[in-house]
Structure 1
Amino acid sequence: MLKETTQNQISQAVVALKKGKVVAYPTEAVYGLGCDPFNQQAVTNLFHVKQRPMEKGVILVAASVEQIEEWIDLIGADWQQQVLGTWPGPVTWVLPLKKPMPNWITGGRNTVAIRVSNHPVVQELCQQFGGPIVSTSANVTNNPPAKSCKEVVREFADSLFCISAELGELSKPTQIRDAMSGEILR
């Protein structure tokens, strides 16, 4: 059960997300930056804040498989059980698209990187938002990721809303795997 103050912060973050803003939130290991993945200006702002090239694409994080099944087809895939066996949890999978997604999400590829998180704040944030959000580490490219709202403010000043809550128990960012090859990418 999340604290009332955390619930209130999540509600404020959802309002910001729906207005196209970038927000910071705790994940399994580090603070993440997120925005509405289908709002091109929001994603552009996120890349600008991180000083990261747009062609890299982004990771999406969701509260459930149902939030992402519109874009990916797991049914009958050789790797279906392997993917579903790690969700919800700290594994991001690069999966083939069932239907096109914007290039600013995929980096122009026919795959998308997705994680169904078991972190309670991420779960609640995505549930209240009504779908997946972008998930990228809260840092300027090549700097260490933030591990608190204080570090987020130090890195980005007061330019974004930060949900102050506990990180998960991982010591490093989540693993990224390619579903089709099984290769560990990070």
Structure 2
Amino acid sequence: MRSVGTTPFALREAARVVSRGGVVAYPTEAVFGLGCDPLDPDAVLRILEIKGRDMDKGLILIAADLNALLPYVQTLDAERMAEIRASWPGPNTWLLPARPETPQWLTGAHDTLAVRVTDHPLAAALCRACARYGTHIGSGALVSTSANLSNRKPARTPLDVRRRLRGAPDLLVAGRCGRHPRPSTIRDGRTGAVLRG
């Protein structure tokens, strides 16, 4: 697994890897994530294979702003969206109704999609770099699932990624995770109910 730093040049290299169907590992608010182009089915299926994750569970998309997520999800009424917008950017993932055209490899067995506007500066910068590279319409969103085998401890350092995934990602962005002690809270956008605290 190749490793790059956190400079703008390194993030452009990571965006190039994503645009070519690659899988990258990168730091998020609490743990390292595995990411790829959400509209590349081969890359998404490769992440599921790396993790040993069932496609039916669905995945999370992150972005630097809500606009990058709108090609994938439908907004809710003004009151619900006000609460959601107030929690972003931040370590808060919300399940929103998926658009009919959103691929099943992202939603799994659900009619919703988990989305987050990240407040991790490096993850947000990577999303913006992917948007500038312009892989697909609606680019700027990135798959974000914890860098670990399913049901195992998530990686919190670049060394953890190397040890736990044995070189599986194509590129490792070797930055630091945020200070949040646990992965993002997941809530149902329609009700506000906490599904993962």
Q: What TM-score range do you get, normalising by the shorter chain?
A: over 0.9
Q: Residues 108-133 of structure 1, C-alpha deviation per residue, up to 9 Å, x if partnerless?
A: 32211000001111111000101101
Extract unaligned runs of 5+ from structure 2. 132-139
SS of the aligned residue for 1:32 comes to strand
TM-score normalised by L of structure 2: 0.88
Identify the residue that residue 11 of structure 1 maps to in structure 2.
12
Aligned pair count?
A: 183
TM-score normalised by L of structure 1: 0.93
After superposition, the CA RMSD in angstroms is: 1.5
Contact (CA 8 Å) 1:100, 1:110: kept in 2 or not? no
2-structure distance, mates of 1:153, 1:32: 13
Identify the residue that residue 91 of structure 2 maps to in structure 1.
90
Percent identity of the aligned residues? 38
**Structure 1 residues 106-145: aligned runs within 5 Å:** 106-130=107-131, 131-145=140-154
SS of the aligned residue for 1:109 comes to coil
Does residue 67 of structure 1 match 2:35?
no
SS of the aligned residue for 1:181 comes to coil
2-structure distance, mates of 1:179, 1:76: 10
The one-letter code of the counterpart of 2:152 is N
SS of the aligned residue for 1:29 comes to coil
Identify the residue that residue 166 of structure 1 maps to in structure 2.
176
1-structure distance, mates of 2:31, 2:19: 23
Contact (CA 8 Å) 1:137, 1:146: kept in 2 or not? yes
Identify the residue that residue 178 of structure 1 maps to in structure 2.
188
1-structure distance, mates of 2:86, 2:115: 14
Contact (CA 8 Å) 1:25, 1:164: kept in 2 or not? yes
SS of the aligned residue for 2:34 comes to strand
Extract unaligned runs of 5+ from structure 1. none
The one-letter code of the counterpart of 2:151 is N
